[in-house]
Amino acid sequence: MNIKSEAQPRKIRRTICIGLGGTGKDVLMRIRRLIVDKYGSLDALPVVSFVHIDTDKASSNVTGLRTGNFYHGVDLRLSDAEKVAATMSRVEVNNFVQEMNRKSSNYEGSPGVYKNIECWFPPQLLKDLKAIDEGAQGIRPVGRLAFFHNHRQIKTAIETAEQKTRGHESKLIQQGLVVDNELSIFVVGSLCGGTGSGIFLDTAYCLRGMYGDHGAQISGYLVISPELYGDTPSMNANAYAALKELNYYAIAGTSFKAYYDLQNLQYIEESRPPFEYVYLVSNRTKSDYRILEKSKLCNIIAHKIYLDFAGELSPVITAQRDNFLQHLIQLDEHPRPNVQRYLTFGLAEIYFPREIAVQVSLNRIKIKLVKYWLQGEGQSPDAKMLLERFLNQWYSGEDKQEGLINKLRQATTDGNKTFSNVLSSWRNRLENSITECETKDDRQNLIAQLSRDIREQFRKVQPGESDSNRGVWLTNIKQAREKITQELIKDITRFLIELLHPHQSDFSLANTRAWLEALTTEFNQFYRSLEDQINSNGKIHSLEEIERRWQDAAQTIEDIENKGSLLPLIKRKK
């Protein structure tokens, strides 16, 4: 019994990729480019959505990729629904500063408008606080302030992104993909600047409040290399403080609390760690401590996230990672039990720049293509064989030594007669006339006729610069030369096309060049052969020379005639 095995559809989870700050945007754009590479367009994978949160209002307008905003004809830029400009205008900042400078309560027993922010925002920053629309200027509390101020907008963007991943089961099943309705959320950013390090915990815990009770798996990819961002003391301090906070909330018994909107009771209190998996990403490789550029590091992170949700091996990768989940939480007698361990990944050690990989592949293809065009598939036919094949086609099976001469004969006609036919007819008539001669008068008449015929035939082949003084046969040859040349060029081109067609057994540039060299040699030899034949026939170029030759011939005939008349007298004397 034959059992047909069919490929099982691959599962893909609904996914939200959230980028924080400039680093988050760079990674999101590279993920979108990878999707276009694999599926042709972003719409072909609708279960994956994106949200970019940044305190720089202009950062999301361009991709920042060296390939530009478009890739394979697809616009990689984020839509308005995918962008959240977590900013505060000059007026909003002034109102905040004024309110914070007042007493904690406007009225006795009544909390202040910003009571939820007053408990953690450093008051020493108020005097220099400016509009937040060109980034957080490397200050973590400023980044967090922008998050609190734009909390509703951020939450709405995330909810819209989650809704966008629903209802695509029938479309994706046609691509061999089965949608897993559980949700994967990837949060990407840097812990070195003010935006990412200031809002990564609030973002994670807001996601916990929105989807944590529905089986969503939240992963954080956090860059911890201050040297990528200037290596200033503030960058190092930001990374250190963010890691301390991350480590604190991963300990059992701690609880994260935040009031985002007092009026609408937007409140978070969560005892779970912010992420299921936390990847701390450095720009140094393990093997040779090579320092990676920021763009290359973003490529690595994008590849890793893409492998998690869309790669061919994503089921295997996620299954192996999930098997270690229980080992990520310390449950022993450690002085600080239940501490979440952090992850990293090895792509940095085997990373090869995409541009270089593409260029190397293209160069190899070029080399193979050039080699194929030069040498074909290894065939090397004899150039003489190719020449023989061409000449047989061009001369229509005639002897190649007489082929071109015959083409000239066929092209030069006077009426329906060729030059050879006319000469043959004239010679036959002359022979018949000689045979019929019986008397001296007949012979004299024949000699006179022969003199006129020779002059007439010479005039037909007489050289000259113009048609008026050139013989008709040479004129015919000159007129036919262009036609024969065009015919030869046409046949050479046709044969060249045959040799240069990749499907031909003799295809290659080397074979074609060898044939052209052999053809050139053949025509040169034929040209020299014609010149030798012309030179061997003597140089009779004028009617005067014909006259001299005829006078010599006429004298010889007269001597023969006189000798013939003396023979009877000699016999009688004897």
End-to-end CA distance of the chain: 125
**Mean per-residue pLDDT of the chain:** 80
Per-residue pLDDT reduced to its tens digit, 320-367: 666 666 655 554 455 555 555 788 776 544 555 666 778 888 888 888
The pLDDT score that the predictor gives to residue 285 is: 59
For 12, residues 6+ apart whose C-beta sits below 8 A from its C-beta are 45, 47, 172, 177, 178, 179, 180, 309, 310, 314
pLDDT category at 104 given cuts 50, 70, 90 is: very low
Is pLDDT at 29 greater than 90 in this prediction? yes
Which range is least confidently modeled, 333-337, 339-343, 384-388, 422-426? 333-337
Is this prediction's pTM over 0.75? no
The pLDDT score that the predictor gives to residue 509 is: 83
Q: Are 249 and 308 in contact (CB under 8 A)?
A: no
Average pLDDT of the residues in 399-417: 62
Average pLDDT of the residues in 424-433: 77
pLDDT category at 165 given cuts 50, 70, 90 is: very high
Which residue did the predictor score with more confidence, 200 or 429?
200
Is pLDDT at 409 greater than 70 in this prediction? no
The pLDDT score that the predictor gives to residue 573 is: 41
Is pLDDT at 464 greater than 70 in this prediction? no
The pLDDT score that the predictor gives to residue 489 is: 84
Domain ranges (residues) in the chain: 10-88+132-351, 377-573
The pLDDT score that the predictor gives to residue 105 is: 43
Cα 72 off chain centre by: 10
pLDDT category at 131 given cuts 50, 70, 90 is: very high
User: Residue 417 forms beta bridges with which residues?
Assistant: 414
Which residue did the predictor score with more confidence, 397 or 487?
487
Q: How far is CA 110 from CA 96, 100, 114, 141, 520, in A?
A: 17, 15, 12, 25, 105
Average pLDDT of the residues in 26-50: 94
What is the DSSP secondary-structure string of 280-340? EE-SB-TTT-PBPPHHHHHHHHHHHHHHHHTSTTHHHHHHHHHHTGGGGB--SS-SS-SPB
Per-residue pLDDT reduced to its tens digit, 235-288: 999 999 999 999 999 887 899 999 998 777 788 999 999 998 899 998 875 544
Q: Are 136 and 146 in contact (CB under 8 A)?
A: yes
Average pLDDT of the residues in 14-39: 94
Please tell me the CATH code under which domain 10-88+132-351 is placed: 3.40.50.1440
Determine the 3-state secondary structure of 12 from DSSP.
strand
User: What region, left, alpha or beta, does residue 215 occupy, with left being phi > 0 and alpha being psi -120 to 50 degrees?
Assistant: left
Is pLDDT at 385 greater than 50 in this prediction? yes
Average pLDDT of the residues in 159-165: 96
Which range is least confidently modeled, 107-111, 160-164, 200-204, 348-352? 107-111
Paired sense of beta strands 10-20 and 48-54, if any: parallel
The pLDDT score that the predictor gives to residue 80 is: 93
Per-residue pLDDT reduced to its tens digit, 469-487: 666 666 777 777 777 788 7
Which range is least confidently modeled, 114-118, 164-168, 439-443, 461-465? 461-465
Average pLDDT of the residues in 541-560: 71
DSSP assigned state of 42: S
